[in-house]
Amino acid sequence: MDSENRRHAHVEIRPAERPGYYEVMEIAVRELLVGKGLVGPGEIRRQIEAIDRQAPAPGLAPATPPKEGRRQ
């Protein structure tokens, strides 16, 4: 079997393992960007790691307000 056929070989996916809509979209966009040579897989990985290092996640308020901000 050549590499092209192996790449497109279908593997049975059980329902619990099926990716959700947004995961499918992320995979498709990532593969298109890498396939077209617009970005490399290493660049995507570095950007994801940079986002993951941010704390708290962008747009999220702290779960507990600071003590000096609380009213008693």
Of 55, 32, 54, the residue nearest 44 (C-alpha):
32
> Which pLDDT does position 39 carry in this prediction?
94
Give the model confidence (pLDDT) of 3-34 as tens digits: 555 556 677 767 777 888 999 999 999 999 99
Q: How many CB atoms lie within 10 A of CB 10?
A: 5
Please give the model's pTM, rounded to 2 decimal places: 0.49
The helices-and-strands tally (H runs, E runs) of the chain is 3, 0
Q: How many CB atoms lie within 10 A of CB 34?
A: 15
